[in-house]
Copies of this chain bind each other. A is one copy, B any other.
Amino acid sequence: MQTHAIPRYPDAGWYDALERGAKPALGEALTLVEAGGAEGRALLDRLHPLGGRAQIIGVTGPPGSGKSTLVNELALHYAVAGRRVAVVAVDPSSPFTGGAVLGDRVRMARASGNERVFIRSASSRGRLGGVARSTFDFVRVFDAVGYDPVIVETVGIGQSEVDIWRIAHTPIVVEAPGLGDAVQAMKAGVLEIASIFCVNKADQAGADAKAAQLAELSDRASAHTPGWTIPVLRTVAHEGTGIVALAEAIARHGDYLHATGRFKALERARAIAEIRTGLEALFVDAPMTRAHRDGILDRLADEVAMRARGPASAAQEIESRYLAGRATSAQTP
């Protein structure tokens, strides 16, 4: 399932190509970052000073809302306008195959054929928060190398989606007529931080009712966003109808974020998540990986599972084996 090789010895030419946003180097960089190792972290550090410019657009909606088609059309809209646009499609990965499901990529064939559009699926690396972390890291890479906007497409139901949702500057909820109470499942945590509501398939029966329902939610949710009234837009994505108005609302929302300082506040929240990730990489991922390689983790897991010892005691053994001396070496005067 690996579609990009990891460059074994990235050289100056490779970094130059990457920083220009060249697609082959970019694909390799994402793979490197997704692998979660020291090289990927070093790359993110190197790219960090270049980032902080892209508008991150979250697009979420229940299955059947047509959000992939909408993302496809929106990406094309930006590409045609001369902007380079990235799409991160968030799919739960399969525990069986370890790989991401490619469905979304297939559905987005139209945009992916465009040279200004880069589409990538984010998969879990098989641990808690894995898909959210991959998504965060991908967004950092795209942002740093000049892709703007970065569109993150999620299913919109579930805790990881809420985590991902929180990094979006401009979160858009897509609904469609006739989806029943799917919206109910999204209400908690997702609807409440939307900045734009969109009724897709607006040519179908029931669109007015859906728009009225969202308008009511907008009235309530807008109370939390002083200076911004959440618009309820209508699109027919497969015909391209309403895409320009949607892009216009996204641009207005970007202006609002910058004017009110909210853009900066969101960058700070992302920074805290990234600092946390840095600690996890050093003190959790690295020793767990080493303990696994040495067979220590297997033994500890057996002991814990057999109730011969507790997980805290097992964690202490990993600490003393792999982390002793680590922290003091960085001690400040």
Main secondary structure of the interface of A (DSSP, over half): helix
Residue of B nearest to A323 (CB): B327
Complex CA distance for A231 and B275, rounded to whole angstroms: 46
Complex CA distance for A184 and B155, rounded to whole angstroms: 11
User: Which of A5-13, A122-130, A145-153 lies at the binding interface?
Assistant: A122-130
Interface centre among A92, A185, A281, A282 (most CB of B within 10 A): A92
Write the nearest CB–CB distance from A327 to chain B, whole angstroms.
Answer: 4
Which parts of A132-164 form the interface with B (CB within 8 Å)? 132-133, 155, 157-163
Interface size on A, residues (CB 8 A): 98
Instruction: Kindly supply a per-residue 1/0 record for chain A positions 228-268, scoring 1 wherever the CB is within 8 Å of any chain B CB and 0 otherwise.
Output: 00000000000000000000000000000000000010011
B94 touches A45 (CB 8 A): no
Q: Which of B48, B64, B311, B328 contacts A324 (CB 8 A)?
A: B328
Write the nearest CB–CB distance from A329 to chain B, whole angstroms.
Answer: 9
Residue of B nearest to A182 (CB): B63
6 shortest A-B CB distances, which residue pairs? A158-B158, A278-B315, A128-B129, A283-B283, A274-B311, A159-B160
Given A155-B158, A268-B302, A271-B304; 14 other pairs, CB 8 A cutoff: A45-B310, A45-B311, A52-B307, A92-B162, A95-B193, A96-B224, A124-B162, A124-B163, A128-B128, A155-B185, A267-B305, A277-B315, A279-B284, A327-B327
